Structure 1
Amino acid sequence: MNKTIAAAVALAVILVVAASTLFTVHQTQQVLITQFGEPIRVIRTPGLHAKIPFVQSVIAFDRRLLDFDAPAEEIILGDQRRLSVDSFTRYSITDPLRYYQTVGAQEVGIRARINSIVTSAVRRVLGNEPLLSVLSADRARIMGEIRRLVNEEMQAFGIEVQDVRIRRADLPEQNTDAILSRMQSERQRVAAEERARGQEEATRIRAGADRERTVLLAEAQAQADILRGQGEQDAIRIFADAFQQDPEFFQFYRSMQAYREAFSEGETRLLLSPDSEFFRFFRESMPSVGTQPARAAAPAAAPPTAAAVPAPAAAEVAPAAPQQ
């Protein structure tokens, strides 16, 4: 009975010693062995390992890529504009011994250091850059400079920074309205310039069209005057030829036209002498006194002048009254 108890106790002791001696390193971990709080060695090879039981301790560190999201910070850029920057950092523990000696075994300690270092580097780099550079293709260059500065300082903690990126870069709310108003004014200025340029082009086209219209009208008027002159020349020539063929008939025809134009309205009044040249054909159409032997025998007959002149014309044309 006593032997059984002793064997069970011995087995338990062996198991406890074995559990305290043997440990496993996972492939995602790296282990630091300490003895009475002092670091002894670093184990990065995954598998089963041994240590001195009850004397040495095992501290495991993650060897994977870790992340840290920094809170948004308001930063003044190189052109004195304010920008709210939200960044994140990707890092890995490359030296567990130095990491343990600087910040200890807890991850909380390193996060405070990363936050201060990243914020300082972002402020230092962006403080020399204008807003357009941050929002343009130069952003990759700016991020590379920030990563270099952060990596130089984090190497003292046994950490290698893989990447630092700006997740968001927003304008502060108090500056948003002013910048939007400035952008609107700039767009309005560009629109006004485009409208002025279009108005100038329209005025130039309209002036050219008016000039061409004036030239075309002048040329057409000149051509019309030339054709009208040629027509009048032909008409004069035709009338001259007709006049030369029978001058008496031509004078008679022109006088008839004058009578028609003068008396066509019916309200025309002319104050002319009876012996005027205008009534030459009226006088020639009247019979002379010597050719009427029966004038005394026929007192009731109408006077020759009244018989020769048509009634409407005699009513409308009156001889000139003698001067008083």
Structure 2
Amino acid sequence: MLNKKFFIGIVIIAIIIFFNALFIVRQTQQTLILQFGDPIRIIQKPGLNIKIPLIQTAIYYDVRILEFDAEVEEVILSDQKRLLVDAFIRYKIVDPLKFYQAVGNENGFKARVTGLLSGSLRRVMGGDPLEVVLSQDRTSLMEKIQEGINLEAVNFGVSIVDVRIKRADLPKANSEAIFGRMRAEREKEARQFRAEGAEESQKIKAKAEKNKVIIVAEAKKKSQIIKGLGDEEAVRIYANAFNKDKEFFAFYRSMEAYKQAFLEGEDDPTLILSPDSDFFKYFNKSVK
């Protein structure tokens, strides 16, 4: 009975040891085998593998592209403006042995790369003004930052795939000051534009007034010329008519004078004339 229990115990221990010796490397993993804490081999091919139980340990690292979202960093630019930069890194573990020896695990790497990212951001972005950082040239800045971090990341067995800025904001106090200055500049430009517009308006009005005076003067001049020519033509016609029949012309002019003199009106003056005057010459003739 005792032998039977001992045998069952041995079998259970053997099964535990057997299953402890087996491990699976998945498609998304690479494995570093440690023996008493020292790395002895790297397994990058997926599948079922065997290690020595209780002596060897398997550490798994991801072969996929990983992402690290860094904390917001305050950077002083070349124009002495402060900028709050929120950046992230995409990286890949390419050498598990170097990675284990340099940083141990992903948390250790994040602690190390935070300083690298901060230094690279300050070094690269600190050499350019705010206008460059906020322009399309920001892509080239990211490439420089990535190259700077990659030089150090190689020692960690890591390849930096990408570095990107999610957000770049001014501190609240700086934002208000800059917005105030921008508003003042825009108001100054608006006042200048209004002044230039008013000046141009005065020039247009003065030119229009000048043209108006010239046009009216020329029109009056032409009208006087035309009127003078008309009067001249009228005088000529009257003269010709008078020369053709002087008696009739005199009679016609007298009739016109009678018509104007005998018009009734409240404000018309009262005329006192002698019946023998030349004015009533044709009346006297008709009476005779």
TM-score by length of 1: 0.72
- CA spacing shift, 1:237–1:53, aligned 2, 3 Å: closer
Q: Distance in 1 between matches of 2:134 and 2:248?
A: 102
Q: Distance in 2 between matches of 1:267 and 1:202?
A: 61
Q: Are the counterparts in 1 of residues 241 and 249 from structure 2 also a CA contact under 8 Å?
A: no
Quote the offset at 1:243 in angstroms: 6.3
Q: Which moved more, 1:164-173 or 1:58-67?
A: 58-67
| 2:286 matched residue in structure 1 | none
Q: Which moved more, 1:240-249 or 1:144-153?
A: 240-249
Quote the offset at 1:57 in angstroms: 1.6
| 1:10 matched residue in structure 2 | 10
- What amino acid maps onto 2:202 in structure 1? T
Q: Deviations over 1:63-100 (max 9, x none)?
A: 22222111112111122211111111111221111111
| 2:148 matched residue in structure 1 | 149
Q: Which moved more, 1:72-81 or 1:226-235?
A: 226-235
Q: Distance in 2 between matches of 1:284 and 1:111?
A: 128
Q: Deviations over 1:166-206 (max 9, x none)?
A: 11101110111221122212222332343344334433433
- What amino acid maps onto 1:100 in structure 2? Y
| 1:135 matched residue in structure 2 | 134
- What amino acid maps onto 2:5 in structure 1? I
Q: Distance in 1 between matches of 2:32 and 2:87?
A: 31
- What amino acid maps onto 1:265 in structure 2? P
Task: Say whether residues 1:159 and 2:158 are aligned partners.
Answer: yes
What secondary structure does 2:74 align onto?
strand
Alignment of 1:1-324 (within 5 A): 1-104=1-104, 106-238=105-237, 240=239, 245=246, 265-266=269-270, 282=277
TM-score by length of 2: 0.81
Q: Distance in 2 between matches of 1:34 and 1:248?
A: 145
Which runs of 5 or more structure 2 residues have no equivalent in the other structure?
281-288
- CA spacing shift, 1:37–1:214, aligned 2, 3 Å: same
What secondary structure does 2:155 align onto?
helix
Q: Deviations over 1:156-175 (max 9, x none)?
A: 11111111111110111011
What secondary structure does 2:32 align onto?
strand
Overall identity of the aligned pairs, in %: 41
Q: Are the counterparts in 1 of residues 254 and 279 from structure 2 also a CA contact under 8 Å?
A: no
Q: Distance in 2 between matches of 1:13 and 1:284?
A: 163
What secondary structure does 1:30 align onto?
strand
Q: Distance in 2 between matches of 1:127 and 1:51?
A: 51
Q: Deviations over 1:279-309 (max 9, x none)?
A: 9x75999xxxxxxxxxxxxxxxxxxxxxxxx
Q: Distance in 1 between matches of 2:45 and 2:68?
A: 26
Q: Distance in 1 between matches of 2:268 and 2:7?
A: 162
| 1:315 matched residue in structure 2 | none
What secondary structure does 1:24 align onto?
strand
Q: Distance in 2 between matches of 1:264 and 1:11?
A: 153
Quote the offset at 1:152 in angstroms: 1.2
Q: Where in structure 1 do 4 or more consecutive aligned residues deviate above 4 Å?
A: 238-244, 246-250, 281-285
Which runs of 5 or more structure 1 residues have no equivalent in the other structure?
269-277, 286-324
What secondary structure does 1:48 align onto?
strand
Quote the offset at 1:122 in angstroms: 0.7
| 1:291 matched residue in structure 2 | none
Q: Distance in 2 between matches of 1:13 and 1:249?
A: 160
What secondary structure does 1:265 align onto?
coil
